[in-house]
Chain A
Amino acid sequence: AQTVTQSQPEMSVQEAETVTLSCTYDTSESDYYLFWYKQPPSRQMILVIRQEAYKQQNATENRFSVNFQKAAKSFSLKISDSQLGDAAMYFCAYSGNQFYFGTGTSLTVIP
């Protein structure tokens, strides 16, 4: 069965600094997608970034980028120039025949 593991329950970063959130997954499928979702205190889950497994190039979205290591089954999220609005719970997710979510990393941004 597919599993998604986020080993960092909590992380903190100084405003304007860079932080990396870790995610590993386990799967036997060859075709899948990986996602990072953000859940601010208001609770609405928002898609941050998406990576197709067949693409070697790492996805980027403005200040957000991923480091996708398919062989290692690792999918980390890097947030550059952290802002106060980045404070949220971040979930890593795997999509194959269905979605699987990690347990989340709570990110605190320190002014």
Chain B
Amino acid sequence: KAGVTQTPRYLIKTRGQQVTLSCSPISGHRSVSWYQQTPGQGLQFLFEYFSETQRNKGNFPGRFSGRQFSNSRSEMNVSTLELGDSALYLCASSLGLVGATDIQYFGAGTRLSVL
């Protein structure tokens, strides 16, 4: 079974631009979560999508948005990029079970550099 696939692996953008990251979950997984990882802040939860609906959201500004398609693939968009958005963006997929019983499986991440 294929794992979680994130594309692209690396991105270089300039301030003010926007970017879209893609995540293909493990087959059969309906939940996709996004995280921002930086050396100083660790993993910060961005949002979770389940069956095309945002189910949970972290404390990030509205410049960060996402969506999920009917095949469970998810995209994350960041508009008006800032230098502080430089980070590793991780996607995790899971079955999406209700409550705390889920296990998240992670992709390799997309390294975004904002110049």
Which residues of A are in contact with B by a Cβ distance under 8 Å?
Answer: 29, 31-33, 35, 37, 42-47, 50, 53, 91, 95-104
Contacts and interface: CB of A to CB of B under 8 A. Distances in A.
Contact of A100 (B45, B90, B99, B103): B45
Contact of B103 (A43, A50, A53): A50
Contacts of A31: 99-100
Interface string B93-115: 00000011111111111000000
B34 to A, nearest CB: 11
Given A98-B45, A98-B56, A43 B108 contact: yes
Contacts of A100: 45
6 nearest A-B pairs in the assembled complex, by CB-CB distance: A45-B106, A103-B42, A101-B43, A98-B56, A33-B100, A95-B100
Contact of A47 (B42, B101, B105, B107): B105
Contact of A43 (B48, B88, B92, B101): B88
12 contacts: A33-B102, A35-B103, A45-B90, A47-B104, A53-B100, A91-B43, A97-B56, A99-B104, A100-B45, A101-B43, A102-B42, A103-B41
A97 B45 CA distance: 12
Contacts of A42: 108
Contacts of B92: 45, 99
A43 B109 contact: yes
Interface string B74-102: 00000000000000101010000001111
Contacts of A99: 33, 45, 92, 104
Contact of A104 (B42, B88, B105): B42
Given A44-B107, A99-B104, 12 more contacts: A29-B100, A32-B100, A44-B108, A45-B90, A50-B103, A95-B102, A97-B56, A98-B33, A99-B45, A103-B42, A104-B42, A104-B43
